[in-house]
Amino acid sequence: MKNVNKNEGQRGGFGTKIGFILAAAGSAVGLGNIWRFPYLAAKYGGGIFLLVYLIFAVTFGFALMLTEIAIGRKTGKSVIGAFKSVDKRFAPAGWLGAAIPALILPYYCVIGGWVLKYMTVFLTGKGSEIANKVYDAGADGGGLSFFEHFISLTGEPSLFFIIYVLIGAVVIFLGVEKGIEKISKFLMPVLLLLIIGIGIYTLTLDGAGEGLKYYVLPDFEGFTVSKLLKTIAAAMGQLFYSMSLAMGIMVTYGSYMRKNDSIEGSVRQIEIFDTIVAFLSGLIIVPAVFVFSGGDESALNAGPGLMFITLPKVFDSMPGGQIIGSIFFIIVALAALTSSISLMETVTAVVMEKFRISRAKSCIAVIIFTLVLGMVSVLGYSEWSDFTLFGMQFLDFFDFVANNLMMPIMAFLTCILVGYVVKTKFVEEEVMYGGKQFRSKLIYRVMIKYVCPVCMIVILITPFVTKI
Ligand code: PHE
C-alpha cells in the first residue's frame, strides 16, 4: 500500500501498520513492565493494583496515548514543532516535551548497561557465582552484594553503558523503516514468546500456586482508604511511565504513522501488548520470589533491588535457573533496548528538525550528549557517590525530576491544549480521518477534559504529601 504521510520521503516513516504498532509497543514495553510493575503490584495488594491499573489503562492511558499520536500525525512534526503548530503559545510545552526524553535517555542507557552486564554474566554461566557473593565494603564494614559492588565501580559500568548506547545508535542511524520498524518487528514477538515460555515454566515450580494467588487475588485485609489512594497514585504513575506517555515519544512516532491506518485500533493494540507483558512479568517474578523466600511477602518489597539482587538468588535456587536467568536477562535487555531507541529517536528527530541537519549528524550529536550526561550518572554511583542532590544520587535525581515533575506537567498541558484551547475536535478529526469511526469518543472527551487533568495534579502532589 502506498504511504500517504505528507512527510514521507524526507523524514521517513513506518511502512506498515503492524510495524508502527510493534515499534510503539517496543517503546512502551521496557524496564517499567518487567522490573517496576511486578514489585508495585506485589506491594499494593496484588489483585487490587491489577484492577485499578486495568481501569486506568483503558480510560486515561488510552486517552493520552491517542491524543499524542493524533497530534503527531496531524502535524507531521516532532514534539517541539508539533506543539508550536497546534498553538504558538504552547511552544514551551513542546520544549518541555523534548527535554524529558533528553533527560531520561542517558540514565536509561546506564541501566541498560547494567542489564547487559547481567546478561553476559548469565550467558557465560556465572549466574550462580554472583548470586550470593558478598564483597567487602571497606573500612566501614558490612558486605556488598554483587550489584552494589558493580555499580560502585567506574570502568565496567562505563564500558557496558557505552556498548549499549552504540547498539541503539546503529538502529537510529538506519532510520525509521529500516532501523526501528525492522528491529521491532523482529524483537517484540520474540520477547513475547520468551516471556510466555518462562511464565509457564515458573508456574510449574512447587509452591508457585500460593504466589500466584497472592499476585492475582485482591487482598482487602487491612486495606484502608489511605492505602487505596496510594494504590491509585502508584497505578497512575506506573501507567504513565509504562506507556511512554508525556515525553514526546508517541508524538514523534505518530508523525511517522501512515494516514490511512486506524489510530484508535492501534492504540488499543499497543496498550494490550504493554499490559500483557507487564502482567506476565509479574507472573514470572512474583510466584518465583514467593517460592524462593518461602512465602515471605517482605521479599517482594525489595523495590529497585528486586531484579538485580533478589532475582539472581531466585534463579540460583531454581532447577535450570542458569538457563532461565539467561533468557530472562535477554528479555530485559531487548525490552530496554527498544525503549531507549524510542527515546533516542525522539531526541534525534528534534535535533534534526531544529537545526535542519541530517539524521546522521544529529545522531552523532545525540550520542555525544548521551555519553557525557550518562557518565555523570555512572560516576554518581562511584567516584562522586558522596555528592547528592536533595539527598539523591544523580541517576535517582534525574529519574525523579523527569517522572514526578516534568511528565505530569507535560501531560497536564497537553490535556489543557486539547481539552480547552483547540478542543477535542482537533484530535477527533484526525482519528476519524478517511471516514473512520471513533467508538470511544465520548469517554475520550470526558477523560481529556476532566479526569486526566485532575489525575495529573494528583500525581504531581502525591510524592510531596506522602512517601509512597
Ligand atoms: N515505557 C518504558 C517502560 O515501561 C519506559 C520508558 C520511559 C521508555 C521513558 C522510554 C521512555 O520501561
CA 217 – ligand 1 centroid, Å: 27
Examine the pLDDT at 392 and tell me if it is beyond 90.
no
The pLDDT value recorded for residue 204 is: 85
Centre of ligand 1 to C-alpha 409, Å, is: 17
Position 193 pLDDT exceeds 80: yes
- In ligand 1, which atom is closest to the CA atom of 101? 11
For residue 97, the one-letter residue type is G
What pLDDT is attached to residue 288?
A: 80
- Structure confidence at residue 303 as a pLDDT band (50, 70, 90): low
Evaluate: CB of 241 within 6 angstroms of ligand 1: yes
Distance 339 CA to ligand 1 centre (A): 6
- Asked if 117 and 80 count as a contact pair (C-beta separation under 8 A), the reply is no
Model pLDDT, residue 123: 95
Give me the count of residues in the chain: 468
Given a cut of 90, whether residue 311 has pLDDT beyond it is no
- 443 pLDDT band, cuts 50/70/90, is very high
Is 50 exceeded by the pLDDT of residue 1?
Answer: no
The answer on pLDDT for 166 being more than 60 is yes
Where residue 3 falls among pLDDT bands split at 50, 70, 90?
A: very low
Model confidence at 444: pLDDT above 50? yes
SS (H, E, C) the chain: CCCCCCCCCCCCCCCCHHHHHHHHHHHHCCHHHHHHHHHHHHHCCEHHHHHHHHHHHHHHHHHHHHHHHHHHHHHCCCHHHHHHHHCHHHHHHHHHHHHHHHHHHHHHHHHHHHHHHHHHHHHCCCHHHHHCCCEECCCCCCEECHHHHHHCCCHHHHHHHHHHHHHHHHHHHHCHHHHHHHHHHHHHHHHHHHHHHHHHHHHCCCCHHHHHHHHHCECCCCCCHHHHHHHHHHHHHHHHHHCCCCCCHHHHHHHCCCCCCCHHHHHHHHHHHHHHHHHHHHHHHHHHHHHHCCCCHHHHHHCCHHHHHHHHHHHHHCCCHHHHHHHHHHHHHHHHHHHHHHHHHHHHHHHHHHHCCCHHHHHHHHHHHHHHHHHHHHHHHCCCCCCCECCECHHHHHHHHHHHHHHHHHHHHHHHHHHHHCCCHHHHHHHCHHHCCCCCHHHHHHHHHHHHHHHHHHHHHHHHHCCC
Least confident interval from 1-10, 62-71, 183-192, 340-349: 1-10
* Residue 403 in contact with ligand 1 by CB distance below 6 A: no
- Give me ligand 1 centre to Cα 455, in Å: 20
Does ligand 1 come within 6 angstroms of the Cβ of 31?
Answer: yes
From 27, 273, 338, mutation site for ligand 1 pocket: most ligand atoms within 8 A of C-beta = 27
Ligand 1 lined by 106 (C-beta under 6 Å): no
Chain segment 32-73, per-residue pLDDT in tens: 999 889 888 888 878 889 999 999 999 989 999 999 999 999
| Digit-coded pLDDT (tens) for 140-151 | 656 788 988 898
Q: Which three cell numbers stand for residue 457?
A: 495534579
The pick from 37, 100, 244 for probing ligand 1's pocket by mutation, whose C-beta has the most ligand atoms within 8 angstroms, reads 244
Q: What is the pLDDT of residue 404?
A: 77
Q: Taking all residues of the chain, what is their mean pLDDT, rounded to a whole number?
A: 88
% of the chain with per-residue pLDDT over 70: 94
For the CA of 29, the closest atom of ligand 1 is: 4
Beta carbon of 447 within 6 Å of any ligand 1 atom: no
The HSE-up count of residue 191 (CA atoms within 13 Å, CB side) is 32
Q: Out of 189-193, 214-218, 291-295, 302-306, give the one with best mean pLDDT.
A: 189-193
Closest atom of ligand 1 to CA, residue 335: 12
**CB–CB of 114/157 below 8 Å?**
yes
Most ligand 1 atoms within 8 A of CB, residue of 29, 31, 238 to mutate? 31
| pLDDT at position 228 | 83
Task: State in Å: Cα 109 to ligand 1 middle.
Answer: 11
Looking from the CA of residue 340, the nearest atom of ligand 1 is: 10
Closest protein CA for atom 6 of ligand 1? 244
Structure confidence at residue 73 (pLDDT): 96
Backbone φ and ψ of 386, nearest 5°: -75, -15
Q: Please state the rounded mean pLDDT for residues 440-466.
A: 88
Position 6 scores a pLDDT of 44
Supply the residue whose CA is at minimum distance from atom 8 of ligand 1. Answer: 339
Q: Structural domains in the chain?
A: 17-465 (1.10.4160)
Tell me the average pLDDT across 349-370: 94
pLDDT digits (tens, 9 = 90+) for 246-286: 999 999 999 999 999 999 999 999 999 999 999 999 988 88
Where residue 8 falls among pLDDT bands split at 50, 70, 90? very low
Q: pTM for the complete prediction?
A: 0.89
Residue of 37, 92, 102, 97 whose CA lies nearest to 344: 102
The confidence score (pLDDT) of residue 4 equals 42
In this prediction, residue 141 carries a pLDDT of 59
Q: Give the pLDDT score at 5.
A: 45
